[in-house]
Amino acid sequence: MKHFIFLGIFSFTILVQAQRSDFSTIDFQNADEIARRYKGEDLSNLPILSLQLTAQLKTDVERFRVIYKWVCENIKGNYHLTTESSYKQRKLRNDSIALFRWHHSFKKEVFTKLLQEKETLCTGYTYLIKEMSNLAGLECEIINGFTEGYHLKKSGKEVPNHSWNAIKLNGKWYLCDATWSSGIIDMNGYNFIFQYDDSFFLMEPSNFAKSHTPIEEKWTLLEAN
């Protein structure tokens, strides 16, 4: 990640490689236990939920961990929303007006299902991670881009097929993907199975880049060679 500091007419570029190993001394058991304690809570009052999850934790990384773990263990992926989104974006990619109108109405459907049924696709996961992190006083961003096997065409007409989060901890940005951490879809019945995958929590940028390509290159968080 590049940080630009301007002093008069001089500029300095600081390159920082954020790694999961930065927190090797942190024990996440307490944060994970708190996440389990509030399992099943609804989303009617995010400020209260965020406070309940984070109030007893001392470090920012633990506060983020409990939010991330709670979201991954309480929000289901929805197969039908995911396939509808993929189909429509491909179908309407050459008609920006139609795509905008569809996206506007689809977003309402996504958030209604998220709040009422706690089911969603990547849009809902990233929204919750960002919103709850911000409520806990953490700086968090939603990153849009492409996943493995689905890359931006030279024509520029492909639209992003995925989103994930970047979280700022101790002055560094880290990457995570709650959608991919939360579980899998059973293709026999198209049901979601919670199956937490910790590897996408603060994954090292070099590994994250193997499967995720952000629209803005700066969000790869890779060091310049």
Taking only the tens of pLDDT, the chain with its 225 residues reads 223 222 232 223 333 455 778 998 999 999 999 999 999 999 999 999 999 999 999 999 999 999 999 999 999 988 787 777 777 777 767 777 876 786 677 778 788 888 899 999 899 999 999 999 999 999 999 999 998 754 444 345 567 889 999 999 999 999 999 999 999 888 787 889 999 999 999 999 999 999 999 999 999 999 733
What domains are defined for the chain?
A: 18-220 (3.10.620)
Phi-psi region of 137 (alpha: psi -120 to 50; beta: other; left: phi over 0): left
Residue type at 144 in one-letter notation = N
What's the pLDDT score for residue 27? Answer: 94
Placement of tokens 């493995």 in the chain = 148
**pLDDT for residue 103:** 67
Tokens 């929590």 sit at which residue? 201
DSSP-assigned letters across all residues of 50-67 = HHHHHTT--SHHHHHHHH
Distance CA 174, CA 204 (A): 8
Dihedral Cα 214, 99, 178, 78, nearest 10 deg: -150
Distance CA 12, CA 34 (A): 42
What tokens does 74 get?
Answer: 């309480």
Model-level pTM? 0.84
* pLDDT value, residue 78: 84
**What is the rounded distance in angstroms from the CA atom of residue 16 to the CA atom of residue 19?**
10
35 φ, ψ to 5°? -60, -40
Question: Would you state the pLDDT for residue 6?
Answer: 26
Which among 109, 105, 95, 120 has a CA at the least distance from the CA of 179? 120
Using CA atoms, how far apart are residues 72 and 130, in angstroms rounded to an integer? 13
Residue for token pair 């007419």: 9
Token pair 């990640």: residue: 1
DSSP 15: E
